Amino acid sequence: MGLFSEIFIWWHGQTMGTRFHTWRKGRLVGEDGQGNRYYESRDGAAIGGYQRRWVIYNGVAEASRVPPEWHGWLHHTVDTPPNAESYQPREWQKPHLPNLTGTPQAWRPEGSLHKGSQRPQATGDYKAWRPE
């Protein structure tokens, strides 16, 4: 990432301010499979009674990219980071799927004009309104 991007564009990773704060006050706790890095305050500084924890995203800053095991640690649901124990995801925990809304890969229902198909004819239970 270039210097200009790191100064002004926060949604593509960390800015200079975040980099400096993380270097000065953060302690690396671990990294997930997507390359996101997780930190906690080195000096034990607390906010609302909890030690401060944060994530530096590898790429676009999208909160849904935090896996369930790290989400629990970030939000103080569990005290032990997943890389410090033998974490096994539960069957209902799914891998990350990006939000495709607004992209050409977004889901289009049957009859959608974006899908290029025609809507089915209305059944007999619907009567269109006509002005009189």
The CA-atom distances, in angstroms, between 52 and each of 23, 30, 84, 97, 130 are: 14, 15, 18, 27, 61
Q: What integer pLDDT is reported at residue 29 of this predicted model?
A: 92
Half-sphere exposure of 2 toward its Cβ, with a 13 Å CA cutoff?
Answer: 3
Average pLDDT for residues 16-25, to the nearest whole number?
A: 82
Which region, left, alpha or beta, applies to residue 102 given φ > 0 means left and ψ of -120 to 50 means alpha? left
Which sequence spans correspond to the domains of the chain?
Answer: 3-114
- The residue behind tokens 């410090």 is 84
Average pLDDT for residues 24-40, to the nearest whole number?
A: 91
Residue 28, pLDDT > 90, answer yes
Average pLDDT for residues 69-90, to the nearest whole number?
A: 85
Residue 58, pLDDT > 80, answer yes
Average pLDDT for residues 9-16, to the nearest whole number?
A: 68
Q: What integer pLDDT is reported at residue 22 of this predicted model?
A: 84
Residue 106, pLDDT > 70, answer yes
Residue 39, pLDDT > 90, answer yes
pTM: 0.67
Q: Which residues does 97 contact at the CB level (< 8 Å), separation at least 6?
A: none
What's the chain's average pLDDT? 81
Q: What integer pLDDT is reported at residue 6 of this predicted model?
A: 62
Report how far residue 42's alpha carbon sits from residue 26's, in angstroms, rounded to the nearest whole number. Answer: 5
